[in-house]
A and B are shown apart, each in its own frame.
Chain A
Amino acid sequence: MARTLSTKDVATDAVTPGTPTRRRRRSYVRPRWTPYFFIAPFFILFGIFFGLPTVRSLQMSFYTERGVDTSAEFTGLDNYATLVRDPTFYKALVNTSYYALGSILIIVPLALSLALLLRTRGLLLREFFRLSFFLPNAISGIVVAIVFRLVFDQEYGLLNNWLLAPLGLPKVAWLADPAFIMPSIILLGIWQFTGLNAIYFMVGLQNQDPGIHEAATVDGAGPWQRFRYITLPLLKPTTVFVVTFAIIGSYQLFAQPVALVGEGGGPNRAGLTLTMYLYETAFTNLDLGYGAAIGYAITVIIVVLSVLQMWAQGFFRKESA
């Protein structure tokens, strides 16, 4: 009987002569799967302990669930509608943005200056300084805040007695006067995070080709021109990284203000940050659905601000070019 051979038959027969074409073959893992197999445990654990809770909390944000013994009731966008009318949320948003703006505008230039300073040729004890600047970042936020409570103490604190008093200035209630609470937290942030960011900038500076600077010098560029037109533009990826992480870190600020002014944020809630408000809503008031909505609002704010600053720094223009 005449039989038309298909290309598949030909191929199969060619590879495994004598093997029945209908036989179901066992397939084997290709070696290219092996790496995935080895990294799978991380992704499985990540999925269970991060992915699932992330999805669950998104779901929860559309439900009203309050108290210990309660059942979740689907309320759609009710939590988000409450959020846009919640004055405490706006208070926390303003406070957090104040910190973010204050810390970024001060920490980033300060860190860059430090990095440039640490690059100075012939600087004595360079490694010691690098280590010293990094050390505050290795200390727990709570410990730092407890130490800074003493620094900010109105009667016996270092700032009032060693800095303001010798200048004849009156004592400041750093942690009791609402006007000074956020500046105090920013001061703490500067102390803790400038060194780390300086190290990022130092890495960025080290990666710059010295030849470009030398060529500019030969062409008659002065130190300021070299900094303005060569160093800074070449540092753009580092700056984007530093600012993005500063935004993320600022909007997640929690331990330091809690230890400095308490969970409620102190007088007039001047130290209340978004994550503190989330914690208070979800774990003190047990308003889990609303807490989840606050969490997602924080996520959206961080993503929007990060993308905006990357766009402002031309990050996407560079990518598309």
Chain B
Amino acid sequence: MAERAELVAEQLTAGYGSVNALDQVSVSVASGSITAVLGANGAGKTTLLRTISGMLRPRSGRVTLDGAALRRRPEDVARAGIAHVPEGQGVITELTVEENLRLGLLLRPPGQRAAALADAYQRFKALADRRRQLAAALSGGERQMLAIARALLTGPRVLLLDEPSLGLAPKIVAQVMALVRELRDEGMAVLLVEQNARGALSIADHGVVLNVGRVVADADAAALAADVSLRRHYLGF
């Protein structure tokens, strides 16, 4: 298993054009835990992940991994061991399932690749059955699994998941959440962005609630789930 990792985002401010989508947001996650990032549409959750993974340059603040500042470009962040599964999964539909997975493998040393791929097919049997099909032929749930499997193949210590349950049927959502819990139990640090706050809080250890780019709550998942007025105001249940 990988060594302990800690990802800390401090006072991030970022945005598009003249608007700041994030305003001094701080968030952290360590190995073997899930931090959920919650809030309504437009709260800045996706912007937060994009800023951490380097897709968007912050206007102020910094991101560190194990105390060391992260380099800015997404490819460098990925190589540092942080895998970002973007909103909409980011599955490359023109490639086959196996080609998508092999893309993830490129960050592994050549000697480990065959074994890692075999493990992935073990864990994600549905993908094994469809390995030669174009990713475009997969259903929403299968694409989500493919995106996560592909991200895992890069050998990350931190996983950034952007709305993995979006557009999926409840049964599939449950499978995805179960998978994320498994990964946490295996030692992964997971930053989980979700609109489905109830589902996210049911597996998370810690939670951060954003509203219009600012942090309005930062507490244990259990405490957040128990706070009825907070839930009603910001989380929709």
Q: Do A and B bind each other?
A: no
